Amino acid sequence: MTKFIVRRLLQTIPVLIGVSILVFSLMYLIPGDPAQIIAGEAASPQTVEQIREKLGLNDPAPVQYFKYVKNIVQGDLGNSIRSGRPVMDEIKARFWITVELSFYSTLLAVFLGLIAGIISAVKHYSWSDVTIMIVALFGLSMPNFWLGLMLIQWFAIGPDWLPEFLKMRASGWGDSWKQVILPVVTLGTGGAAIIARMTRSSMLEVIGQDYIRTARAKGLGERVVVYRHALKNALIPVVTVVGLEFGGFLGGAVLTETIFAINGMGRLTIDAIRTRDFPIVQGTVLIISFLFVFVNLLVDISYRLLNKRMDVN
């Protein structure tokens, strides 16, 4: 197991290098001159040139990249153009908000998705199965921003007959559980639909195996057969989806955080794009990308924990 983890860690190094190259390239892909933005539209060409020299923008691209990587290793992501504060400090103030939102949304998606997928597989081709799959298709097709706006309309603004304890707050994060429910439901609904469909498909494939029929022939209860024998083997492809969904939530929280006025990394990224704050954009994309790679590493490790006989190359 240790050799497997070490091998996987070494395999992530080229991926991280590729991510750093792509993030560094944002400086050249986003329209606008960073030096001109820092200096202001009315600045003289001499002032702009001084800023370019100070930031090292006149150096060749490879030299700028190696300086960028060196600073990343030292934990220095530069300073925000807008506020002048270190990018790492800006991200630290928002990082855990986005992680909490993504984590709670993943828990909701896994809880609803597994239950719906198992019921749908055990009672396949029944009305329960058809109903669950229709609801899952609707949840998969529904845009998050539309669902968020509808939830705000239904549970935050009105209707008047809704009991007070069911009325949620449509802005902010962490001060009350009423601020958490709506954004988590908004972000987690699509993931729940994907997990439900994957769980159903994987369970149906496993339930048809010979060892499941043998377990039933031995007189084992249906609950034992489903949860102890079938579900454990059906979880391997589901774990992949869960890992991808969590990574997707980290990046997909942008719209949800904007709709519910949550000061997370997604909203920080949107504000930075609007003001062309290149260091903030690079820093947030880099952190989210690194987290996504780390989550995939955990998914690979979980394969071995679920099935030690499985050879994950």
Whether the predicted pLDDT of 137 surpasses 80: yes
pLDDT digits (tens, 9 = 90+) for 172-214: 787 788 888 899 999 999 889 999 999 998 888 888 778 777 8
Whether the predicted pLDDT of 104 surpasses 90: yes
Give the global pTM: 0.82
Are 300 and 240 in contact by the 8 Å Cβ rule? The answer is no
Averaged pLDDT for residues 94-111: 91
The helix/strand/coil state of 79 is strand
Whether the predicted pLDDT of 29 surpasses 80: no
- What residues contact 116, with CB distance under 8 A and at least 6 apart? 132, 135, 136, 192, 196, 199, 200
CA distance 82 to 68: 20
pLDDT digits (tens, 9 = 90+) for 234-266: 888 888 888 888 888 887 788 888 888 888 888
Identify the pLDDT of residue 309: 56
The full set of domains in the chain, from first to last, is 2-69 (no CATH), 96-206+235-274 (1.10.3720.10)
